[in-house]
Structure 1
Amino acid sequence: MIYISSLLPRQYQSETKALFAALAVHAVPYALLDGTNDIWLRDFMPVRTGSGKLVSFRYEPSYLKSDPDLRTDFCKDLAQQLGLPVTYSHINLDGGNVVFSPSGERVLISDRIFSENPEYPPAALVRELSELLEAEVLIIPSLKSDMTGHADGMARFLDDRTVLCNRPLSSCGFEQKVKRSLRDYGLDAVDFPFVPMGGISAVGCYLNYLETEQTVFLPVFGIEQDAEAEASARQIFHKEVVTVNIREIAQQGGCLNCISWEEPHAQ
């Protein structure tokens, strides 16, 4: 089951309709979730570990400090509605900054986690996260100019040893720095098409796809590079690749992974 905020079809009717049509055609059940204060479900919903444990982190990101009305408190606003067994943590962490490997044994988190939790010594914070997430925590750089600093726009696991990352724009730029950090952990870093647009826009961030057991739903934006991204995805993934144009949503800072959340299998 894929959950989407009930705010999404109200704010982006045509793009939500296209997404729901793509999910339906590929037999992916979906539902709308009421009670959210924003459309970015991934960030304030619980994180699911490899064992299936759900961990709900504190959602008080610095970039919403001046917009508290946009913050959704899962415990207060949504937990009773869903009735899921959840472990709660006081660590301030967005779900979009948590990228698990397929086995759940490794997890990528950007170094934004440290500035969001200044009360924790870095090493202690990593240890606590490792225990909560039941995984080896791998810290990667965050782009300082990116409002959120989330990992899911920079790197995604293809398998437990291979990570897709944004194709470097130069030999000494930020994307190259991310690749080096991944390789320092012994991971293989594979380039994926990327077109930075600047500002808060996520147009051109093809890595922010939605992956289900059988299908990869790839965001496209009506730009020239869409064809290359689709061709690369079809070559890389051993699943069906389905494109979904979400340009209008992406201009607000997120793509398909950001607006979705998967209900645990047990449900």
Structure 2
Amino acid sequence: MRDFDTNFVYISRLLRSDFKPFCDELTGLFGKLGIAWDFLDGTRDIWVRDFMPVQLSKDSFWGYKYSPDYLLGKERYISDQAKIAKSINLEFRPSDIVFDGGNIVLAGEYALVCDKIFSENHVSKNDKDFVVRLEKELGKKAIFLPWMPHPDDKNGDIYGHSDGFVKYCAENKILMSSHADSYPDEAEQIKRILEFHGFNVEQMSFAKPCYEYDWAYINFLQVGANIIMPSFDNDNDEIARDFVSRAFVGAKISSINCQKIASLGGALHCIAWNIHKG
């Protein structure tokens, strides 16, 4: 199930109560583009991508145990996946694997997952039994992308979500974030792993990096042929748009300022759960 195959978007109703001007602009853009959407009620934060089931195919959704380490001590923000799914009459296959919906990018026969999943499930890295189990549940071969915490970096990633690093374009093409502008060795490792599995990888890069927000450009939302990109009213907006337009030929690209949302650690893909309905 590619983003290109999706036709419906859910967002949290909290987005309207907590970020009303942004939410009104976003839903207005949905209307302008003809994107069907609705609110999810009962969520405990706005990051619906992280706790909603993963759609693997038209009629198959995979659930998981949503218990991220970055919410340790903040369990009041952990949404009830089963309860919310029931409220929209969604059935899914449950699993007790600890997982985040933001840590999967479906790419043909593969699922791209940051290797933080191993520590979250208290198994050693590349544990064979765990890998077999995960791949069986996903029905996909897993490619594990190396992830490192950077606790001393205020702009460092604490989530380990693959949707903050890569986006599947089509066939064997991957668009990658500007991670190399901050951590070139890590970015090269990710690139080599993807190339080993036959992918052609293009990396975003900026002559004048804005470390606070550049990471968010890869976290855009695609629904069918429509792409909505984050913008930050700086020169890198247009550069990022060029990267995306070359990677997704024929896509209709729009943008919305995401400065307030991104300052909290996520962007458009994080706040939206796009699926195929019907």
- In the superposition, the TM-score normalised over structure 1's length comes to 0.91
Q: Quick one: distance in 2 between partners of 1:229 and 1:170? A: 16
SS of aligned partner of 1:87: coil
Contact 1:111–1:139 under 8 Å retained in 2: yes
Change (3 A) 1:79 1:222: same
RMSD: 1.9
Q: How does 1:99-248 map to 2 (within 5 A)?
A: 99-101=105-107, 103=108, 105-119=109-123, 122-145=127-150, 146-167=157-178, 168-169=180-181, 172-193=184-205, 195=209, 197=211, 204-238=215-249, 239-248=251-260
- The reply to whether residue 27 of structure 1 matches residue 34 of structure 2 is yes
Q: Quick one: distance in 2 between partners of 1:58 and 1:118? A: 13
Change (3 A) 1:192 1:172: closer
Shift of 1:255: 0.5
Match of 1:66 among 65, 73, 88: 73
Shift of 1:246: 1.1
Q: Quick one: distance in 1 between partners of 2:69 and 2:182? A: 30
**What's 2:265 paired with?**
253
Shift of 1:265: 2.0
After TM superposition, the runs of 4+ consecutive aligned structure 1 residues lying more than 4 A away are 193-196
**What's 1:4 paired with?**
11
- The reply to whether residue 94 of structure 1 matches residue 100 of structure 2 is yes
Change (3 A) 1:181 1:263: closer
SS of aligned partner of 1:125: helix
Contact 1:99–1:107 under 8 Å retained in 2: yes
Unaligned runs of 5+ in 2: 1-7, 151-156
| Greater helix proportion | 2
Q: Is the deviation greater in 54-63 or in 129-138?
A: 129-138
Contact 2:231–2:255 under 8 Å retained in 1: yes
Contact 1:203–1:221 under 8 Å retained in 2: no
In the alignment of these two chains, the number of paired residues is 260
Higher RCO (C-alpha 8 Å, min separation 6):
2
SS of aligned partner of 1:58: coil
Contact 1:153–1:205 under 8 Å retained in 2: yes
Q: Quick one: distance in 2 between partners of 1:169 and 1:197? A: 8
Contact 2:164–2:215 under 8 Å retained in 1: no
Match of 1:36 among 30, 43, 49: 43
SS of aligned partner of 2:268: coil
Shift of 1:16: 1.3
Shift of 1:237: 1.3
**What's 1:57 paired with?**
64
